Amino acid sequence: FIEKIGEGKKDFSKVGDGDVVILPAFGASFEEMTLFDSKNVDIVDTTCPWVSKVWNTVDQHQRKGLTSVIHGKYAHEETVATVSFCEDYICVKDMKEAQMVADYIINGGDKEAFLKYFENAISEGFDPDTMLDKVGLANQTTMYKKETRAIGQLMQKTMITKFGPVNTKEHYLEFDTICDATQVRGID
């Protein structure tokens, strides 16, 4: 087993050449996969297809020049893996944080305070003054569907308010990446 050594960090020192590594349903980050390749390990990939769908979604965001707004807990294994596929991102764990982002998009604000609040939940070099003009929504698949949908509606309304209804599609993109199975059994 891989030992966790902090928020979003793991100790891979015991993984050796030719070992077998089983990826969990939450997947593995791009950096972890690169490490496994360098150690020539055999990988058994049990990544959930819904998690892969989220990764494809954030890849679409990046290709279209969007910042990914990820509804999830920034230190959760799945979100750590997801953000590793993003150039620009901000994680919001709930409606309160999504509202903070929406308020900043519409009104601007204290950039330093915003960055301090989200310091562990943003991409390196994140600039809310330029990186929140075009956003796409994704989620940690175990978050509540109702809250993710509400955050999506908030982001869409925010972009309509800021850029007008005609230009919304240029500034906001959303795909359904919520895993229905986790809605039934509970969330992580």
Residues marked as catalytic:
78
For tokens 């240029």, name the residue.
170
Angle at 84 between CA 81 and CA 87, to 5 degrees: 150
Residue partners of 43: CB distance under 8 A and separation at least 6: 20, 21, 22, 23, 33, 36
Query: In whole angstroms, what is the distance from residue 176 CA to residue 149 CA?
Result: 9
Query: In whole angstroms, what is the distance from residue 58 CA to residue 135 CA?
Result: 10
Nearest Cα residue to 91 out of 50, 45, 54: 54
Residue 24 buriedness (CB in 10 A; 0-12 / 13-18 / 19+): middle
DSSP H/E element including 20: strand 20-23
Query: In whole angstroms, what is the distance from residue 57 CA to residue 145 CA?
Result: 16
